[in-house]
Chains A and B, each alone.
Chain A
Amino acid sequence: MFVARSIAADHRDLIHDVSFDFHGRRMATCSSDQSVKVWDKSENGDWHCTASWKTHSGSVWRVTWAHPEFGQVLASCSFDRTAVVWEEIVGESNDKLRGQSHWVKRTTLVDSRTSVTDVKFAPKHMGLMLATCSADGVVRIYEAPDVMNLSQWSLQHEISCKLSCSCISWNPSSSRAHSPMIAVGSDDNSPNILAKVQIYEYNENTRKYAKAETLMTVTDPVHDIAFAPNLGRSFHILAVATKDVRIFTLKPIRKELTSSGGLTKFEIQIVAQFDNHNSQVWRVSWNITGTVLASSGDDGCVRLWKANYMDNWKCTGILKGNGSPVNGSSQQGMFNASLGSANTSLQNSLNGSAAGRKQS
């Protein structure tokens, strides 16, 4: 059973992205009204908007939090071809009394010539890095060498994808056996380009990102892509939102040579493909243990997917956009009861958007 709570967001236009911070106590929303709102969760579980400000001069597509060890840092990207890094300033007792915190623009990344469609911070063990992708098919990776100075970001890598990119996802695995990896999804509509998901891996020898794999089976425009958190797994799980929900596993094929020697070869398998949404799937998001996947689609529902002990993925819950459960979701009454105790923590730990788009 799920408890859904409705928050009046007060955005004046479509909300494009919702993002939770590392601990799940703060939330950021961004919208076509060019503003970003930051919400804090109080002790009794209510969400209060603690900041709302105009961020860009165009629709803001995505917003994302950095790891708290770098401070309270947000990044947003927009149709106005820029990506901006924001930091929260502590102090200013006047605002505190009113309950408002103050966010300061630290840097604007203006290298893109087209709309920037996604921005994502890299996993914490890589330092303070972020990647942006834009509609001209270029993925840019920036790094701030000094974590104390957020205004200095340098462009480290430019990856040309040859396809208009719509989403990126970092591989969050902190294992030293896994080199940094980015998955890029494309919503390119041109008919001659087929494979819409590419995986780029950092090559220690050439010190560049090179394409490691292409998922040939994904041929429809990709709206969202997400690596599952890797808590000790030797392989990777990737979820893709296209016209249906797809889950891939990427198993690194062992090479005799150790870390040197170039890119890893992966054995890619599709472990699940669900078209229960019967429409375009817009967002996919994993929980923090990487065991439950949430997907949202044009049918206005959020579906949760979980694998059972035999690695069969199944739908474990359906929520309508207004938060009410759909009756078909409870397969057996008993089944949901056993999930019940896990739900409250699941709810909290759903990172990222539960509903792709909400009308304000």
Chain B
Amino acid sequence: MEKMARVTTALGGNTITGRTMFCHLDAPANAISVCRDAAQVVVAGRNIFKIYSIDEDQFVEKLNLRVGRKPSLNFSCADVVWHQMDENLLATAATNGVVVTWNLGKPSRNKQDQLFTEHKRTVNKVCFHPTEVYMLLSGSQDGYMKCFDLRKKDSVSTFSGQSESVRDVQFSIRDYFTFAATFENGNVQLWDIRRPDRYERMFTAHNGPVFCCDWHLEDRYVFRFDIRRFFLRIAKYWNRLPRELVESLSLEKLYIAAGPLPTDTTGEGRCMSCLMLSAWALNYAPETSFLMLLPWLTDSGNNLTLPLLPSFSPWGQVAQTWTMLRIIYSSPGTVPSANLNHSLGKGSTSLPLMNSFNLKDIPPGIGNESRLERSKGESRSENILMDSSSTLINNDENEETEGSDVPADYLLGDVEGDEDELYMMDHENPHAEEQEYILPQEAFPLRHEIVDNPSALDHLQEKADSPHVSGNEAETVSLTPVESFSLISISHSLYENRLPTDFFNPIVRDMLLFYAEQGDVQMAVSVLIVLGDRIRKEIDEQTQEHWYTSYIDLLQRFQLWNISNEVIKLSTCRAINCLNQASTTLHINCSNCKRPMSNKGWICDRCRQCASMCAVCHHVVKGLFVWCQGCSHGGHLQHIMKWLETSSHCPAGCGHLCEYT
């Protein structure tokens, strides 16, 4: 990464403006860290180690920490961390295995304070204890983690992971003694600092190396990043990313991404903005993983974003997909403000929602999954998803509420549940996001003014005011609820009126194809129905027909005839629509001569006798006519019913034992 950029959001009223600034660094940087009040940022890399101050509109280099005539290897840093309590304390992890602490208060030019040369290989990560000033943890490529007390000369304890290289270590905010370590073989271990001989827990998080992890602030959840697989996919598209987008992408992830990213020819490849997030509730199955998507990854026609969306666990991502669709296709004008106020509900802002969000209550993965299983045939699955997600908002209730039935003609933006779903996304996002997650604001031209998410604006307002609270280092910090902001709101702000609504059509089409290839035809058909004409022309008729036919077949297996009929009625494909039109005529034969009757009157043309005579009263039946399917005799409903109370033989006298259902 050659550039460093920062985006600020300043809010005035309902508009969001942002600033992007960047500066050129002389050399690639591996890590950055901000100080406690976010006025300064330290940048560390192989050949660079500087402190910049973050001014109103530019970065100003304040200090170059690489001093000395002979640049030693100690300056080549893989990681840097600024202590959140002590303004002057920095620690770096060097590629030669050395952990260096720096004291900025020193009068001499060389601010180096202490040197710990205990690791045998590159130190990948250093991490200060959130509350203890003197405790420092380091993780190294040699597979060991060491805890240092800065008051002493040597390390206090060594933790051996018995695994491959340690890629990340992170203290837990909540537990004083706990830290997490992630490894190259995909394992994640939890350690207690008091017990260096073995880990407390270990589980396999990913198939590949786990490069970064983070703790949720309130609960004991750890989030893992394994973006290796991602970047292999992103790599293809880098050349096509617009220049402005690339330049303004935020930096924190670069640090994470630096390792596995394949470099592409332009050198812009290091920038990334797409995260895969694997949410690991320690009590829940690994399956509850979902994907954080930053919508401004795309450019025109670039199929970058949404296909990556559903790469992992199905349930959380389906909810995400609907949110994305809503963002893409709904224009704020259609959302009445009354809707919003109502759905905000819990308070004047949605901050309380954030604060009290508890992932443990209703994990989106499990909740959605069980609902989907139960309501497999529901073509309105999106409502169900939203309803279950809206229960997340109910901070006080731990049980899932059966979501209200959303009206059948669900249109984007008209349903109240929508808002809740948006806020559900908010909940997921902050946990992924880091403290100083500076999103580019002008990566894309703004699509529209934000009128439908006032609460989101509030978040951003707060964020601009106090961007840093006592959190951890920039790279791996998790947001406090107050600071968290809605990713969705950011995404809104990026779109201006200039973007046509079908800008994302190719992406949505790819997303649908992706779901179909996975066999999730319900998703594909639901989206087709909901989006209707907007997406209809993107997918060829044959494929649409195939999806509809398969879905209707599936519904019929479960004997959900009404739903299947609704799907037929609402489908966008002509071949399917006409399924309802088949067999809609009834031919009536004269009961006497058995020849088809004309549609005029009650007299049969051929035999000149009255048709449909009641077997009981021998008059023409002009109202409800019921007949036995066995002998085809029948009559007025009332008469037959009365007859059957007494005798089960046919009233016409044919001797048949009539059966009426």
Contacting pair B284 A22 (CB below 8 A): no
Contacting pair B557 A175 (CB below 8 A): no
* Chain A residue nearest to B524 in the complex (CB): A232
Contacting pair B554 A342 (CB below 8 A): no
Contacting pair A349 B557 (CB below 8 A): yes
* Chain B residue nearest to A333 in the complex (CB): B285
* Chain A residue nearest to B517 in the complex (CB): A233
Judge if B100 is at the interface, Cβ distance under 8 Å: no
- Pick the residue among A23, A175, A290 that contacts B546 (CB under 8 A): A175
Q: Which of B13-21, B189-197, B368-376, B469-477 binds A? A: B368-376
Bound Cα distance A124, B553 (Å) = 10
Counting chain A CB atoms within 10 Å of each CB, which of B203, B288, B542, B553 scores highest? B553
Given contacts A177-B542, A230-B550, contact A310 B517 (CB under 8 A): no
Contacting pair A231 B550 (CB below 8 A): yes
Bound Cα distance A175, B376 (Å) = 22
Contacting pair A174 B549 (CB below 8 A): yes
Contacting pair B543 A175 (CB below 8 A): yes
Counting chain A CB atoms within 10 Å of each CB, which of B287, B550, B551, B558 scores highest? B550
* Chain B residue nearest to A237 in the complex (CB): B519
Chain B residue total in the interface (Cβ 8 A): 45
A contact residues around B373 at 8 Å (CB):
341-342, 345
Bound Cα distance A341, B311 (Å) = 22
Contacting pair A233 B543 (CB below 8 A): no
For the residues of A in contact with B, the DSSP-based class is loop
B contact residues around A289 at 8 Å (CB):
519, 554
Q: How far is the CB of B306 from chain A (nearest CB, A)?
A: 15
A contact residues around B524 at 8 Å (CB):
232
Judge if B232 is at the interface, Cβ distance under 8 Å: no
Bound Cα distance A53, B312 (Å) = 50
Contacting pair A234 B517 (CB below 8 A): yes
Judge if B545 is at the interface, Cβ distance under 8 Å: yes
Interface positions of A from 187 to 244, Cβ below 8 Å from B: 229-235
* Chain A residue nearest to B523 in the complex (CB): A232
A contact residues around B545 at 8 Å (CB):
175-176
Q: Mark B479-515, 1 if CB is under 8 A from A, else 0.
A: 0000000000000000000000000000000000101
Given contacts A125-B549, A341-B370, contact A232 B521 (CB under 8 A): yes
Q: How far is the CB of B641 from chain A (nearest CB, A)?
A: 20
Q: How far is the CB of A240 from chain B (nearest CB, A)?
A: 19
Contacting pair B557 A309 (CB below 8 A): no
Judge if B11 is at the interface, Cβ distance under 8 Å: no
Judge if B207 is at the interface, Cβ distance under 8 Å: yes
Bound Cα distance A289, B376 (Å) = 11
Judge if B638 is at the interface, Cβ distance under 8 Å: no
Contacting pair B516 A334 (CB below 8 A): no
Q: How far is the CB of A155 from chain B (nearest CB, A)?
A: 28
Judge if B366 is at the interface, Cβ distance under 8 Å: yes
Given contacts A231-B550, A289-B519, contact A310 B207 (CB under 8 A): yes
B contact residues around A124 at 8 Å (CB):
553
A contact residues around B551 at 8 Å (CB):
231-232
Counting chain A CB atoms within 10 Å of each CB, which of B545, B546, B549, B556 scores highest? B546
Q: How far is the CB of B471 from chain A (nearest CB, A)?
A: 30
Contacting pair A338 B287 (CB below 8 A): yes
* Chain A residue nearest to B515 in the complex (CB): A232
Judge if B559 is at the interface, Cβ distance under 8 Å: yes
Q: How far is the CB of A21 from chain B (nearest CB, A)?
A: 10
Contacting pair A288 B557 (CB below 8 A): yes
B contact residues around A233 at 8 Å (CB):
516-517, 519
Bound Cα distance A226, B441 (Å) = 52
Q: How far is the CB of A80 from chain B (nearest CB, A)?
A: 33
Contacting pair A234 B559 (CB below 8 A): no
* Chain B residue nearest to A93 in the complex (CB): B657
Bound Cα distance A24, B207 (Å) = 37
Bound Cα distance A233, B551 (Å) = 12
Q: How far is the CB of A291 from chain B (nearest CB, A)?
A: 5
* Chain A residue nearest to B204 in the complex (CB): A332
* Chain B residue nearest to A351 in the complex (CB): B557
* Chain B residue nearest to A25 in the complex (CB): B559
Bound Cα distance A349, B203 (Å) = 33
Bound Cα distance A173, B553 (Å) = 11
* Chain A residue nearest to B312 in the complex (CB): A309
Q: How far is the CB of A279 from chain B (nearest CB, A)?
A: 30
Bound Cα distance A342, B657 (Å) = 46
Contacting pair B285 A290 (CB below 8 A): no
Interface positions of A from 112 to 139, Cβ below 8 Å from B: 124-125
Bound Cα distance A231, B522 (Å) = 9
Judge if A337 is at the interface, Cβ distance under 8 Å: yes
- Pick the residue among A173, A176, A234, A338 that contacts B366 (CB under 8 A): A338
Judge if B547 is at the interface, Cβ distance under 8 Å: yes
Bound Cα distance A342, B366 (Å) = 11
Judge if A91 is at the interface, Cβ distance under 8 Å: yes
Judge if B630 is at the interface, Cβ distance under 8 Å: yes
Contacting pair B542 A231 (CB below 8 A): no
Bound Cα distance A322, B78 (Å) = 58
Bound Cα distance A175, B312 (Å) = 27
Given contacts A334-B285, A338-B369, A345-B376, contact A23 B517 (CB under 8 A): no
Bound Cα distance A93, B657 (Å) = 10
Q: Mark B632-661, 1 if CB is under 8 A from A, else 0.
A: 000000000000000000000000010100
Counting chain B CB atoms within 10 Å of each CB, which of A23, A175, A290 scores highest? A175
> Can you give 13 contacting A-B residue pairs, CB < 8 Å?
A24-B557, A175-B543, A175-B546, A176-B546, A232-B515, A233-B516, A233-B519, A234-B513, A234-B543, A309-B311, A334-B285, A338-B288, A338-B365
Give residues in A with beta carbon < 8 Å to B.
22-24, 91, 93, 124-125, 173-177, 229-235, 288-291, 309-310, 332, 334-335, 337-338, 341-342, 345, 349
Shortest 10 CB-CB contacts between residues of A and residues of B: A175-B546, A232-B516, A334-B285, A232-B521, A231-B521, A341-B370, A231-B550, A338-B285, A174-B549, A232-B547
Give residues in B with beta carbon < 8 Å to A.
203, 207, 229, 283-288, 311-314, 365-366, 369-370, 373-374, 376, 513, 515-517, 519-521, 524, 542-543, 545-547, 549-551, 553-554, 556-559, 630, 657, 659
- Given contacts A232-B517, A334-B286, A345-B376, 5 further A-B pairs with CB under 8 A are A174-B549, A231-B550, A232-B524, A335-B285, A341-B366
